[in-house]
């Protein structure tokens, strides 16, 4: 069921699967519980490329051949989901550990994989479809969920799927954000940082197309129930997109490796690795293309920083609030924003218990300190105006504790220094000229000082900007 011979691995590097994953995400977001959890806790609007990479890494671990890796990842996902619960705008409870909710997530991935083959003119035969379904059932079992939340047989699954679409799904806030905000306002990935004209031009063309193709591929019952528009020619455009993705499979294999594509998009200035030279060349050519586009037709682009400025460059309080603190993009600072920071750090360092809990607890204590100091109107969250009013005085004991715990979990060997390998695990780049000491290490005091300088002084930082503010 797992490893290189699984059907999942055949689809993972199939260019059509990009369309399938987007479609599955929309179907997930249309579920009331999942939609509420996404709207309240997810950073996918502000940091979609980070979210994409983490999701793909998680799927690779879960469907890989190594059982120990799969068990560790399943435990990590369960800890993550345990922290996601609450109530939606209609006071309905949601819980990411609800086994029926988790079953629906797996169901959307399976059904969208089957649908991508059908829409591209290569429907799966019955045997292949049953094997793929068995793999996704095994995936759910690996998470520790008991059998029965997904139907045992394929014919029963289609009845379950049709019932869910017709009776359970609705036009959630998260559904609208994905279809009508995310695609048309998608932030640039790190690869295109500093090329706003080129990115804005491509997004203006591709965003509406992706949204239209996704809507057209959804079940008619959901489109009708959610009141999604019927755009003339959408079905033809959708068929063409899936056929084009199918033809792209003829490209050289190295071009289609999902991890290579995502890794290239995640490259940022100062990054290391075999793609660094390619990044430099692409950015130079992109700047020339952007200049040409501005000559042909000026494109309005909001001011954007690429995070490459020196450590003495400062943001305004408003900029820091928007670019770093407001991880979920809802215009307020509250616990889900700091939890998103903790999640990203835990993911990069691949932390186990108890280190993960220690880091979350430190961020939770910082949130309580921020709430006490900044929430002047008592609404349980901090607005940009409330933050700006007292921003210069925020380096309190709780933030210092966050810095100390971050140092401790990054210092994997416990020698009280962060070496080049540990530094690279957190920041995905080597030491800068002024980071390490004569022995190529970063001390606790230097690490804590740099973190506090970034978080309280709002200084731009080569390592911390990519960690906490890149899309």
Q: Give the model confidence (pLDDT) of 66-91 as tens digits.
A: 999 999 999 999 999 999 999 998 99
pLDDT at 400 over 80: yes
Domain shared by 363 and 236, yes or no: no
Q: How far is CA 368 from CA 42, 81, 331, 335, 397, in A?
A: 20, 22, 19, 9, 11
Domain shared by 27 and 167, yes or no: yes
pLDDT at 145 over 70: yes
Distance CA 411, CA 421 (A): 10
Residue 189's pLDDT band (cuts 50, 70, 90) = confident
Distance CA 373, CA 394 (A): 8
Residue 36's pLDDT band (cuts 50, 70, 90) = very high
Domain shared by 244 and 321, yes or no: no
Domain shared by 226 and 369, yes or no: no
- Check residue 255 and give its pLDDT: 62
Q: Report the CATH number at residue 398.
A: 1.10.238.10
- Check residue 202 and give its pLDDT: 87
% of the chain surpassing 90 pLDDT: 61
What is the pLDDT averaged over residues 96-102?
96
Q: What is the pLDDT of residues 199-222, one digit of tens each?
A: 888 888 888 999 999 999 999 999
Render 154-200 in DSSP notation, one character per residue: HHHHHHHHHHIIIII----HHHHHIIIIITTTPPPPGGGTT-HHHHH
pLDDT at 229 over 50: yes
Distance CA 137, CA 5 (A): 16
Higher pLDDT, 457 or 421: 421
Residue 461's pLDDT band (cuts 50, 70, 90) = confident
Distance CA 316, CA 251 (A): 46
pLDDT at 376 over 80: yes
State residue 221 phi and psi, 5-degree precision.
-60, -40
Choose one of 199, 215, 248: the last residue of a domain: 248
Question: Is residue 182 in a domain?
Answer: yes
Distance CA 270, CA 282 (A): 14
Domain shared by 136 and 238, yes or no: yes
Domain shared by 240 and 369, yes or no: no
Query: How is residue 285 written in tokens?
Result: 């050519």
Question: Is residue 263 in a domain?
Answer: no
Rank 37-51, 401-415, 456-470 by mean pLDDT and report only the highest: 401-415
Poorest-pLDDT segment among 230-234, 275-279, 369-373: 275-279
Domain shared by 330 and 239, yes or no: no
Under 8 Å between Cβ of 34 and 28: yes
Domain shared by 386 and 242, yes or no: no
Question: Is residue 304 in a domain?
Answer: no
Question: Is residue 154 in a domain?
Answer: yes
C-alpha closest to that of 186 among 211, 152, 215, 222: 211
Domain shared by 429 and 345, yes or no: yes
Question: Which stretch of DSSP H or E encloses residue 418?
Answer: strand 417-418
Question: Is residue 433 in a domain?
Answer: yes
- Check residue 438 and give its pLDDT: 53
- Check residue 306 and give its pLDDT: 43
C-alpha 124: how far from chain center: 30
| Side-chain half-sphere CA neighbours of 424 within 13 A | 10
Question: Which stretch of DSSP H or E encloses residue 77?
Answer: helix 67-82
- Check residue 304 and give its pLDDT: 44
C-alpha closest to that of 320 among 463, 434, 461: 461
Residue 1's pLDDT band (cuts 50, 70, 90) = confident
Q: What is the pLDDT of residues 284-306, one digit of tens each?
A: 665 565 555 555 555 454 444 44
Domain shared by 82 and 228, yes or no: yes
Distance CA 445, CA 434 (A): 14
Poorest-pLDDT segment among 120-134, 257-271, 317-331, 437-451: 257-271
Question: Is residue 188 in a domain?
Answer: yes
Higher pLDDT, 106 or 275: 106
Largest CA distance in the chain: 66
Under 8 Å between Cβ of 136 and 24: no
Domain shared by 139 and 58, yes or no: yes
Poorest-pLDDT segment among 267-276, 346-355, 397-406: 267-276
Q: What is the mean pLDDT of the chain?
A: 86
Stated pTM of the model: 0.85
Domain shared by 241 and 332, yes or no: no
Poorest-pLDDT segment among 180-184, 249-253, 347-351, 378-382: 249-253
- Check residue 391 and give its pLDDT: 72
Q: Which domain holds residue 393?
A: 317-468
- Check residue 115 and give its pLDDT: 96
Question: Is residue 371 in a domain?
Answer: yes
Poorest-pLDDT segment among 154-168, 172-186, 215-229: 172-186
- Check residue 282 and give its pLDDT: 59
Count of the separate structural domains present in the chain? 2
Distance CA 326, CA 383 (A): 10
Choose one of 222, 248, 274: the last residue of a domain: 248
What is the pLDDT averaged over residues 356-381?
94
Question: Is residue 405 in a domain?
Answer: yes
Poorest-pLDDT segment among 121-125, 173-177, 184-188, 297-301: 297-301
Choose one of 231, 248, 265: the last residue of a domain: 248
Q: Can you tell me whether residue 378 is helix, strand or coil?
A: coil
């Amino acid at each position: 069921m797992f490893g290189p011979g699984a059907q999942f691995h055949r689809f993972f590097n199939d260019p059509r699967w990009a369309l399938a994953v987007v479609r599955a995400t929309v179907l997930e977001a249309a579920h009331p519980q999942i939609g509420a959890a996404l709207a309240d806790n997810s950073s996918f609007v502000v940091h979609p490329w980070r979210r994409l990479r983490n999701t793909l890494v998680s799927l690779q671990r879960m469907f890989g051949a190594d059982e120990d890796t799969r068990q560790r990842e399943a435990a990590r996902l369960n800890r993550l989901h345990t922290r996601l619960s609450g109530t939606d705008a209609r006071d309905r409870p949601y819980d990411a550990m609800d086994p029926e909710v988790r079953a629906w997530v797996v169901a959307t991935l399976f059904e969208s994989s089957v649908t991508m083959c059908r829409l591209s003119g290569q429907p799966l035969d019955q045997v292949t479809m049953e094997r793929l379904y068995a793999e996704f059932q095994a995936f759910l079992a690996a998470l520790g969920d008991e059998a029965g939340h997904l139907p045992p047989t394929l014919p029963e699954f289609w009845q379950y799927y049709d019932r869910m679409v017709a009776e359970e799904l609705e036009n959630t806030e998260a559904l609208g954000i994905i279809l009508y905000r995310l695609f048309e306002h998608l932030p640039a990935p790190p690869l295109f940082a500093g090329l706003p004209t080129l990115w804005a031009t491509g997004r203006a063309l591709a965003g509406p197309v992706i949204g239209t193709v996704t809507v057209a591929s959804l079940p008619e019952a959901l489109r009708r129930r959610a009141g999604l528009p019927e755009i003339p020619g959408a079905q033809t455009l959708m068929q063409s997109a899936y056929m084009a993705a199918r033809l792209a499979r003829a490209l050289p294999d190295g071009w289609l490796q999902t991890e290579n594509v995502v890794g290239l998009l995640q490259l940022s200035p100062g990054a290391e690795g075999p793609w660094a030279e390619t990044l430099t060349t692409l950015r130079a050519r992109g700047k020339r293309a952007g200049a040409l586009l501005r000559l042909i037709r000026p494109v309005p682009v909001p001011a954007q920083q690429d995070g490459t400025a020196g450590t003495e460059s400062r943001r305004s309080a408003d900029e820091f609030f928007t670019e770093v603190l407001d991880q979920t993009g809802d215009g307020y600072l509250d616990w889900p924003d700091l939890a998103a920071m903790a999640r990203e750090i835990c993911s990069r360092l691949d932390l186990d218990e108890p280190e993960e809990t220690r880091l979350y607890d430190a961020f939770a204590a910082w949130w309580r300190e921020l709430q006490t100091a900044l929430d002047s109107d008592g609404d349980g969250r901090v607005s940009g105006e409330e933050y700006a009013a007292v921003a210069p005085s925020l380096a309190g004991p709780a933030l210092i504790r966050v810095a100390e715990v971050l140092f401790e979990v990054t210092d994997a060997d416990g020698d009280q220094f962060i070496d080049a390998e540990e530094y690279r695990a957190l920041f995905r780049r080597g030491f800068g000229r002024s980071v390490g000491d004569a022995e190529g290490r970063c001390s606790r005091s230097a690490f804590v000082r740099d973190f506090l300088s970034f978080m309280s002084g709002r200084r731009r930082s080569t390592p911390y900007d990519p960690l906490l503010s890149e899309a």
